[in-house]
Structure 1
Amino acid sequence: MLVEIHVSPRPSGTPEQKYAHVDAAIAVIAASGLTYEVHALGTVIEGPPDRIWSLVRDVHEATFAAGADSTMTTIRLAQGKDDAGPTIADLVTKFRA
């Protein structure tokens, strides 16, 4: 399964670290051990559905743990039958130099 997740915490960080609450969400993704890529407007993660669904909640909640007052999380999911969907590499490798 692939998921693209975008968290929009308010505020996005602290005066000293402008994106601290977003960074906390990305740290949760990094700690998951799943394959992921951070992009300018979201992060794409690949893995088994059970791990992805659990991780989405953890990422959302990480913004609150970091100090955000509110958070809006947007996700887009892609999954093939029997979890045989594409990988991140399948979809982006041909566009990389």
Structure 2
Amino acid sequence: MAVVEVTIVPLGTGSPSVSQYVAGCHKALEQASDLTYQLTPMSTIIEGKLDRIMEVIRQMHETPFAAGAQRVSTTIRIDDRRDKEITMSGKMQAVIEKL
């Protein structure tokens, strides 16, 4: 299982506000019932099988284009640990235990 952070930024929209585009991306993500995700103020964190996450990120990346954006910049950070299963909550708990 992987934990992936994704930020999708539509450009060329004519407005500094991007919340409608973020909402559109999240509608695509909501269709992926096999993934767990968390919206944050600056990005979205997704947990699940890496191949599936990348498939959904591709759909999310295309969403702003369909809504009229002329350019989309997508940043992806992947934490893919192979020696044990990781989760968003497990990563948080590991830090909290050390505080």
Greater C-alpha radius of gyration? 2
* Partners of 2:7 and 2:76 within 8 A in 1: yes
Question: Displacement of 1:92 after TM fit?
Answer: 2.3
Q: Which amino acid aligns with 2:5?
A: E
Q: Which amino acid aligns with 1:92?
A: M
RMSD in angstroms over aligned alpha carbons? 2.4
Partner SS, residue 86 of structure 2 = coil
Partner of 1:79: 80
Partner of 1:24: 24
Q: Which amino acid aligns with 1:29?
A: L
The superposition leaves residues 62-92 of structure 1 with CA deviations (integer Å, 9 ceiling, x where unpaired) of 111122111100000011117x441011122
Q: Percent identity?
A: 32
> For the residues of structure 1 that align with 2:43 and 2:7, how far apart are their CA atoms?
4
Partner SS, residue 81 of structure 1 = coil
> For the residues of structure 1 that align with 2:30 and 2:92, how far apart are their CA atoms?
20
* TM-score, L = length of structure 2: 0.79
Partner of 2:61: 60
* TM-score, L = length of structure 1: 0.81
In the alignment of these two chains, the number of paired residues is 93
> For the residues of structure 1 that align with 2:53 and 2:14, how far apart are their CA atoms?
25
Q: Which amino acid aligns with 1:30?
A: E
Alpha-carbon spacing, 1:37–1:4, altered in 2? closer, same or farther (3 Å): same
